[in-house]
A = this chain, B = another copy of it.
């Protein structure tokens, strides 16, 4: 079982919030300025900035300053790390779902 320590803590914690997952989903469609990214959220720019800081600490969001604007982009590397952690469990959930399916489809009385 491979473990990725603190980095993985921060990535999972960052993803445990619907606004932060919505920001990640927004940046998947393309880069944007802070103002553009914040626009659809019914919250203050300050509140969005706090969420962005959590995402940046987790390495999910990169910020570049171009002139007076802050440009945000999604760095998918931490998501690939979550995926590698999850792979160790794939056999487990697949066999568990198979077992459940067999239980539901097998005849109730033996032939």
> Interface of A with B (CB < 8 Å)?
1, 3, 5, 8-13, 15-18, 21-22, 24-25, 28, 74-77, 79-80, 82-83, 85-86, 88-90, 92-93, 96-97
Inter-chain contact A9/B17, CB cutoff 8 Å: yes
- Residue from A5, A11, A21, A24 with most neighbouring chain B CB atoms (10 Å): A21
Q: How many copies does the complex hold?
A: 2
A15 to chain B: closest residue by CB: B12
Cα distance A97–B76 in the bound complex, in angstroms: 9
Secondary structure at the A interface, as helix, strand, loop or mixed, is helix
Within the complex, the shortest CB–CB distance from A19 to chain B, in Å, comes to 10
Inter-chain contact B80/A83, CB cutoff 8 Å: no
Inter-chain contact B74/A82, CB cutoff 8 Å: no
A82 to chain B: closest residue by CB: B86
Inter-chain contact B83/A79, CB cutoff 8 Å: no
Q: Which residues of B contact A79 (CB under 8 A)?
A: 86, 89, 92-93
Inter-chain contact A90/B96, CB cutoff 8 Å: no
